[in-house]
Amino acid sequence: MTDSSIQLGGVKLQGSVLAAPMAGVSDRPYRRLARIHGAALAVSEMISANPALRHSSESLRRTDHSGETGPISIQLLGADPLQMAEAAKFNVDRGANIIDINMGCPSKKVCNRRVGSALLRHEILVGQILDAVVSAVDVPVTLKIRTGWAPDQRNGVRIAKIAESAGVSALSVHGRTRQCKFHGPVEYQTIKQIKREVGIPVIANGDIDSPQKAKRVLEYTQADGIMIGRAAQGQPWLFGRIANYLNCGIDPGDPHPISKRDTLLTHLSELYLLYGNVNGVRIARKHVSWYTSAIGNVQVFRRRFNLIDKPDEQIEFVRRHLIGPEG
């Protein structure tokens, strides 16, 4: 077995498979399951650095890590160096062990505010933000980026060098530009080039959806680890499958259907606990859609589930019907 740990400044990750931050997905229930099932780190949903939003119910919920296994990584979104530095200090005081900076989100809403991947077009500002945040906190600072703004504007290598010079501890790179969003093939060549050019850990991200694909990407890019995003929606056990394959060369395959069902039931229970009954029932529907898609279940199950508006009835429906009464 090889040593798959990743050193992020003073924090050592016990593994090389990480759970990506995803808006509306990587909340506390998701992060807890990702860690239980083998992710070495599960980064929070992005949190605005705007001080006016710092104490909003949404921001406080996103920074609630009760019951989570460390290290705790909080992702910040913003374009003002001072606000980003202050937000980093605030979140370290609330228990963050790692501060992650979002320069990868491709959504139009985010980029119109000149944050997320829009910052890749402003290299001087990137350096100012990273310098400010690294100087403000005594925990590792990591950065998530794309390969550039557009296919003809791939500046990921320059951004990576700026990050290393600022003292960033690691870099996660999604192998698409902002213009590509989540469409078209992932381009891993830039990630490979970034790894050659910098001495800090580089994490490869983008369309890694199986243990075999993870190994191919690592071998090609020579990256230090991988980050799994959308592929793990509805199948948190994917983290463990990939980690086991990378460490031992053995893919244990998916868990038994009963285990899958029980994982979903745990996920639902934690959603109700975090969001309350009304919002928890609503949010549960998209997760059930992902779980049943990964399991290969039929549309009729999801349509019936989406008509249920009470937590206990959702739980009972899943328990009775997901794998059948004989399950």
Convert the pLDDT of each residue in 106-120 to its tens digit. 776 776 667 888 999
Residues listed for the chain: 327
Query: Would residue 248 show up in a list of annotated catalytic residues for this protein?
Result: no
Place of tokens 């038994």: 256
Start-to-end CA span in the chain (Å): 35
Q: What is the mean pLDDT of residues 49-55?
A: 90
Tell me the CATH architecture of domain 6-248.
Alpha-Beta Barrel (3.20)
- What pLDDT does residue 112 have? 65
Question: Do 45 and 23 meet the contact criterion of CB atoms below 8 Å apart?
Answer: yes
Domain segments of the chain as ranges: 6-248, 257-321
Question: Do 103 and 75 meet the contact criterion of CB atoms below 8 Å apart?
Answer: no
Q: How far apart are CA 84 and CA 75, in angstroms?
A: 11
- What pLDDT does residue 180 have? 83
pLDDT beyond 70 at 297:
no
Q: How far apart are CA 7 and CA 117, in angstroms?
A: 25
Query: Residue 197 class from Cβ within 10 Å (0-12 exposed, 13-18 middle, 19+ buried)?
Result: middle
**Tokens (6 digits) for 20:** 């990506």
Q: How far apart are CA 92 and CA 88, in angstroms?
A: 6
**105, 111, 180, 248: which is the annotated catalytic residue?**
105
Helices (H), the chain: 28-36, 57-62, 81-93, 108-111, 123-136, 156-166, 189-197, 211-221, 238-248, 257-275, 277-295, 299-305, 311-321
Per-state percent for the chain, helix, strand, coil, to nearest 5: 50, 15, 40
pLDDT, tens digit (0-9, with 9 covering 90-100), for 188-230: 999 999 999 999 999 999 999 999 999 999 999 999 999 999 9
pLDDT, tens digit (0-9, with 9 covering 90-100), for 248-286: 999 999 999 999 999 999 999 999 999 999 999 999 999
Q: How far apart are CA 307 and CA 309, in angstroms?
A: 6
Query: Residue 251 class from Cβ within 10 Å (0-12 exposed, 13-18 middle, 19+ buried)?
Result: middle
